[in-house]
Amino acid sequence: MALTNDYLKRVYDGLAERCANEKEFLQAVEEVFESLQPVVEKHPEYEANGIMERLVEPERAIIFRVPWVDDSGKVQVNRGYRVQFNSAIGPYKGGLRFHPSVNLSVMKFLGFEQIFKNSLTGLPMGGGKGGSDFDPKGKSDREVMAFCQSFMNELYRHIGPDTDVPAGDIGVGAREVGYLFGQYKRLANEFTGVLTGKKVGSGGSLVRTQATGYGLCYYANEVLTHNGSSFEGKTVVISGSGNVAIYAVEKAQELGAKVVAMCDSSGYIYDPDGIKLDTVKDIKEVRRARIKEYVDVHPGATYTEGCSGIWTIKCDVALPCATQNEINEDSAKALIANGVQLVCEGANMPSTPEAIAAFQDAGVLFGPAKAANAGGVATSGLEMTQNSERIYWSAEEVDAKLHGIMKNIYKACVDAAEEAGKPGNLAVGANVAGFLKVADAMVWQGTV
């Protein structure tokens, strides 16, 4: 689909010229704009208020030096980012990513997506994202701590429980959030809910660790059940083997599916008898080792170098949970040829535009990232509520709220898709439903 609406085309073309090098950001904006054409035509007040021009420009983007000393005594320097994209409906909220591929384009695409995702949760959270090109892989705990403390030495002046509340993402888990939180607490002399994903007992919420993966399966389950199907007996492929992937496997198995493959950035494992998650947790969560070690413990499984081959494995349901653009057109075609029924995105923007078009043309059910992986940030929102109230909810309470939120998001997507004249198109539904709330708040607040 191309942009035919004059206003959207003008704003997009201007952005493409100003941000010519930011290809991931432009990809995310184009996908949202394509969905919003009927909405912008129906609501002339959005053009009159310059909503789209303002929406694509972050309210603030901070880039900073992060110097730290490695174990050999050498000074290292990384680049830190925090993109505070939109605060129309609440304080900026979104994760921190530590990965060598991090650059301004990646930060801006993630921050932009976060605006609509957070809006879909129904909780009062604006959109933001941050991170660094620092690679925690292979670093000692002391090096990771030194980096996190230096990162927070700058970040702390830009965040706060009512201003901006970061959390984890790729390369940022409980260990990193702990070092970041400790340094914030020391600098600000405050124990507040300034970060989410904290350790349970130190301000963290039960179920936050599991929330993105569980929420993804709750959403996928809604899609399946509303299409006369379920996870029961389904063969599932889940890419990645990090936080999102591990808890997606756990919930999919609990719902009766057989998960046969997982991967890391080096390669993928295929276990036709079903993945033994305890082994994966031991390799990834306890030992921070490589997924290929799985086959040493389970000789019936195979390991193949390279991760894109995972999409050639026959499955009914595919849950990409690693990174952006991990499913290209060829991978999408391989999945379709093997009879995939549902693709539901755990990672952010894991399918290229060509892959999404291929799924839609083939009638494959498609759950877009903004909706399907919103359970993580939704539970971060629940952590913020618990911190503000200075109480903890039980695991059952948090899980029930998460489940309810994912059901509501599914319904909001279905209703908005219908309203936009694209019944059943959950990608359009997610963009429209997420956008309307933010756009109306921006109109209400005037030109700020």
CA torsion, ordered 13, 19, 25, 31, to nearest 10 deg: 0
Least distance in angstroms from the C-beta of 68 to ligand 2IT: 23
Distance CA 405, CA 215 (A): 9
Kindly list the distances between the CA atom of residue 363 and the CA atoms of 121, 165, 202, in Å, as whole numbers in the listed order. Answer: 27, 39, 46
| Burial of 380 from C-beta contacts in 10 A (0-12 / 13-18 / 19+) | buried
Give, as ranges, the residues between 308 and 367 that touch ligand 2IT (CB under 6 A).
348
Q: Which of 89, 86, 70, 87 is nearest to 78 (CA)?
A: 70
**DSSP β-bridge partners for residue 75:** 69
Nearer to ligand NDP, 47 or 113 (CB): 113
User: Which range in 169-177, 181-189, 414-422, 424-432 contacts ligand NDP by CB under 6 A?
Assistant: 169-177
Say how many residues touch ligand 2IT, by CB under 6 A: 11
Q: Find tokens 């998001």 and name the residue.
A: 409
114 in contact with ligand NDP (CB under 6 A):
no
* Member of 88, 377, 414, 417 binding ligand 2IT (CB under 6 A): 377
| Token output for 186 | 């020391």
- The site string for ligand NDP over 218-257 (x = CB under 6 A, - otherwise) reads ----------------------xxxxxx------------
Nearer to ligand 2IT, 49 or 379 (CB): 379
User: Which range in 25-33, 175-183, 249-257, 315-323 contacts ligand NDP by CB under 6 A?
Assistant: 315-323
323 in contact with ligand NDP (CB under 6 A):
yes
User: Which range in 261-269, 333-341, 357-365, 399-407 contacts ligand NDP by CB under 6 A?
Assistant: 261-269
* Member of 173, 242, 350, 376 binding ligand 2IT (CB under 6 A): 376
Helix axis angle for 141-155 and 174-188, nearest 10°, is 50
Q: E-assigned strands of 70-225?
A: 75-86, 92-98, 126-132, 164-167
Distance CA 112, CA 129 (A): 8
Give, as ranges, the residues between 83 and 142 that touch ligand 2IT (CB under 6 A).
93-95, 117
| Token output for 314 | 């026959």
Give which of ligand 2IT, ligand NDP, none residue 344 binds (C-beta under 5 to 8 Å, depending on kind): none
User: Under 8 Å CB-to-CB from 12, ≥6 apart: which residues?
Assistant: 3, 29, 30, 33
**DSSP β-bridge partners for residue 160:** 164
Nearer to ligand NDP, 8 or 327 (CB): 327
CA torsion, ordered 214, 83, 193, 145, to nearest 10 deg: 90
Kindly list the distances between the CA atom of residue 412 and the CA atoms of 169, 170, 427, 429, in Å, as whole numbers in the listed order. Answer: 25, 28, 11, 7
Nearer to ligand NDP, 90 or 168 (CB): 168
The residue type at 197: G
Give which of ligand 2IT, ligand NDP, none residue 93 binds (C-beta under 5 to 8 Å, depending on kind): ligand 2IT
368 in contact with ligand NDP (CB under 6 A):
no
Give which of ligand 2IT, ligand NDP, none residue 229 binds (C-beta under 5 to 8 Å, depending on kind): none
Q: Find tokens 């901070």 and name the residue.
A: 62
Give which of ligand 2IT, ligand NDP, none residue 445 binds (C-beta under 5 to 8 Å, depending on kind): none
Least distance in angstroms from the C-beta of 334 to ligand 2IT: 27
> Is 129 a catalytic site residue?
yes
Distance CA 311, CA 332 (A): 8
167 in contact with ligand 2IT (CB under 6 A):
yes
Query: Which of 93, 108, 117, 129 is flagged as catalytic?
Result: 129
User: Would you name the residues annotated as active-site residues?
Assistant: 129
By CB under 6 A, name the binding residues for ligand NDP. 101, 168-171, 173, 212, 240-245, 264-266, 307, 321-323, 346-348, 373, 376
